[in-house]
Structures are given as structure tokens and as C-alpha cells.
């Protein structure tokens, strides 16, 4: 989904906010930042978290206009919390007007979800329509930790994601890994176009060599 499309969706949601609501407990934004970086940063851009994900919407671009229009932080928090619990399902595919993948529901739950929502609401769009910088590294391990670690467990990289397969158990060969990185499949987006050919080769070689160590 493009930043513009994401902004339209957010505006529509803000127009209907105030129903449902959050629990009344106080939120821990430090915990929210930690959880965001672990569970969300590989998919979303958020300048305050130094997150540069490009699979899902850029959260700064999504909320910058709403913030500029004077929407309360509490309204943004409710929208983020609702999206964590009940994420919208949109058309996916290549190109700037499409998401690469839809977000699974309940990546974080309960108080953790409130903490993440509060952290995002306090920071998204505060720096305007910030554009993420493309990943420049050609180091396979660095690419994996940035783009894949939230979804996959791989002991060598120190990642514990559970959305996708445990790569230590899968022990896939290079050809299989590269096909998956290029084409995606299941919940995994295709990285052709968002990673360079050199980066795809580097991360594929790293995964094939690091699994099952």
C-alpha cells in the first residue's frame, strides 16, 4: 500500500474512532519500543525507532497528515491498537500501490499491545513524512536480521520469530532459499524489487550456510 493510500485508510479510521477503546491502565512506552523493534520494525518504517521496513505501510507517512490536522494522540493510539488486533486485509503484490503482505492479527496481546500502540501513537508522524532509507548493506547476516528476523528463528542470527518457519529446523539448501526470497510464498512477501540481486544472493547464501548450526 502506498503512503498516500495508507493515509486515506488512516483518515477513514480516525473519522470513526472512539468506539471500543483501550483498557484504562497506563502504558509502558519503553516496553512498546522494545516490542515494536522486535515484532514490527522489519515490516514498517518508523523514524523514531530507526525502523526501515518496507513490507507494510510507512507509519510516519500514514499518520503525519492526521497529526498535522490536529487529531489527538489518543485517537491515533486507538487506531493502532485496533489494527494490531484486527488488521485490515488488502490487495498485495509488487509496485508502490500495493502491500507486499498483510499483517497477522495479534502479534502482541494484552498490555503489550497497549504499550506498542502508545509508543507508535507518541512517535508516528512527529517528524513529518519521513521516508525510510533503503538497506545498503550486502552482508547476508545484516540483511537477514533487518528483513527476516522478526518472522523467522535462526540461532546464528539470534532471532526468534515464529510467524514463518524455524530455519534451523528447515535446513533448506541455497536454491530453495533463493527461490523463496525472490518469489515469496505463504505469508512471506517476495523480496525481488525491494532487495538488490546482490542482497538477495547474500542473504540466501547466509541462510543456507547458517541453518542448523
Write the pLDDT tens digit of every residue in 71-94. 889 989 999 999 999 887 777 766
Nearest to 22 by CA among 123, 121, 124, 126: 121
With cell 519503553, the residue in question is 30
- To the nearest whole number, what is the mean pLDDT of the chain? 80
The answer, as to whether pTM is greater than 0.75, is no
> Per-residue pLDDT averaged across 171-200, rounded?
86
What was the pLDDT predicted at 112? 95
pLDDT over threshold 90, residue 201 = yes
The pLDDT, as a whole number, for residue 13 is: 53
What percentage of the chain exceeds 90 in pLDDT? 32
For CA atoms 73, 77, 80, 83, the dihedral sign is negative
pLDDT category of residue 53 using cuts at 50, 70 and 90: confident
Residues 13-43 have pLDDT tens digits of 554 444 445 544 588 999 999 999 888 887 8
User: Nearest CA to 14 among 57, 52, 85, 62?
Assistant: 62
Residue 24's pLDDT is what? 47
What is the per-residue pLDDT for 93?
Answer: 65
> In 17-107, which residue ranges form alpha helices assigned H by DSSP?
29-39, 59-68, 73-85
Report yes or no: 80 and 120 within 8 Å, Cβ to Cβ: yes
The residues, any chain, with a CB within 8 Å of residue 180's CB and separated by 6 or more, are 172, 188
Q: What's the average model confidence in pLDDT over 148-154? A: 83
Higher pLDDT, 47 or 110: 110
Amino acid at each position: 500500500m502506498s503512503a498516500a493510500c495508507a493515509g486515506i485508510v488512516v483518515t477513514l479510521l480516525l473519522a470513526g474512532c472512539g468506539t471500543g477503546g483501550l483498557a484504562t491502565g497506563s502504558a509502558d512506552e519503553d516496553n512498546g519500543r522494545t516490542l515494536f523493534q522486535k515484532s514490527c520494525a522489519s515490516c514498517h518504517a518508523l523514524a523514531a525507532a530507526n525502523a526501515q521496513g518496507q513490507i507494510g505501510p510507512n507509519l510516519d507517512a500514514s499518520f503525519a497528515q492526521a497529526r498535522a490536522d490536529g487529531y489527538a494522540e489518543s485517537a491515533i493510539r486507538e487506531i493502532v491498537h485496533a489494527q494490531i488486533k484486527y488488521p485490515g486485509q488488502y490487495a498485495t503484490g509488487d509496485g508502490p500501490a500495493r502491500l507486499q503482505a498483510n499483517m497477522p492479527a495479534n502479534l502482541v496481546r494484552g498490555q503489550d499491545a497497549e504499550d506498542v500502540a502508545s509508543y507508535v501513537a507518541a512517535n508516528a508522524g512527529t517528524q513529518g513524512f519521513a521516508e525510510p532509507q533503503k538497506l545498503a548493506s550486502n552482508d547476508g547476516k545484516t540483511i537477514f536480521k533487518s528483513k527476516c528476523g522478526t518472522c523467522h528463528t535462526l540461532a546464528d542470527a539470534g532471532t526468534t520469530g515464529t510467524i514463518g518457519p524455524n530455519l534451523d529446523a528447515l535446513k533448506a539448501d541455497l536454491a530453495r532459499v533463493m527461490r523463496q526470497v525472490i518469489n515469496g510464498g505463504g505469508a512471506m512477501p517476495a523480496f525481488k524489487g525491494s532487495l538488490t540481486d546482490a542482497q538477495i544472493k547474500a542473504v540466501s547464501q547466509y541462510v543456507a550456510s547458517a541453518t542448523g548450526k
